Amino acid sequence: MRLVSSIGHAWALTYVTLVIVLLGALGLAVLVAAAVSFGPFDAWFVFGAVATYAGGALIMVARIGGYHPFPRFGAANTVTLVRFALTCVIAGLVLQTLVSSISLSPAMGWASFGLVAVAMVFDGIDGYCARRQGLSSRFGARFDMETDALLIFLLSITALTLEKAGWWVLVGGLLRYIYVAAGCVWPILNEPLRPSMRRKAISAIQGGVLATLLVPIITPPFSTTIAAIAMVLLVYSFGQDVFWILRRPTAKHAHR
* Better-predicted residue by pLDDT, 252 or 177: 177
The pLDDT value given to residue 256: 44
The pLDDT value given to residue 105: 84
Percent of the chain with pLDDT over 90: 53
Could you give the count of Cα atoms lying within 13 Å of 26 in the half-sphere of its Cβ? 5
* Better-predicted residue by pLDDT, 152 or 14: 152
Distance, in Å, from the CA atom of 185 to the CA atom of 222, rounded to the nearest integer, reads 38
Distance spanning both ends of the chain, measured CA to CA: 43
> In which band, very low, low, confident or very high, does the pLDDT at 249 lie, cut at 50, 70 and 90?
low
Distance, in Å, from the CA atom of 58 to the CA atom of 21, rounded to the nearest integer, reads 9
pLDDT digits (tens, 9 = 90+) for 28-65: 999 999 999 887 888 999 999 999 999 999 999 988 88
The pLDDT value given to residue 3: 38
Distance, in Å, from the CA atom of 218 to the CA atom of 104, rounded to the nearest integer, reads 13
The pLDDT value given to residue 206: 93
46-84 burial string, b = 16+ CB within 10 Å, else e? bebbbebbeebbeebbebbbeebebeebbbbbbbbbbbb
The answer to whether the CB of 120 falls within 8 A of the CB of 204 is: yes
Query: To the nearest whole number, what is the mean pLDDT of the chain?
Result: 87
The pLDDT value given to residue 251: 52
Which three-class secondary structure state does DSSP give residue 234? helix
Cα distances (angstroms) measured from residue 116 to each of 29, 51, 82, 102, 214: 18, 19, 12, 20, 9
Distance, in Å, from the CA atom of 129 to the CA atom of 74, rounded to the nearest integer, reads 8
> In which band, very low, low, confident or very high, does the pLDDT at 4 lie, cut at 50, 70 and 90?
very low
* Closest residue by Cα to residue 143 from 120, 127, 121: 127
Percent of the chain with pLDDT over 70: 93
pLDDT digits (tens, 9 = 90+) for 116-148: 999 998 887 887 787 888 878 888 888 998 999
The pLDDT value given to residue 187: 87
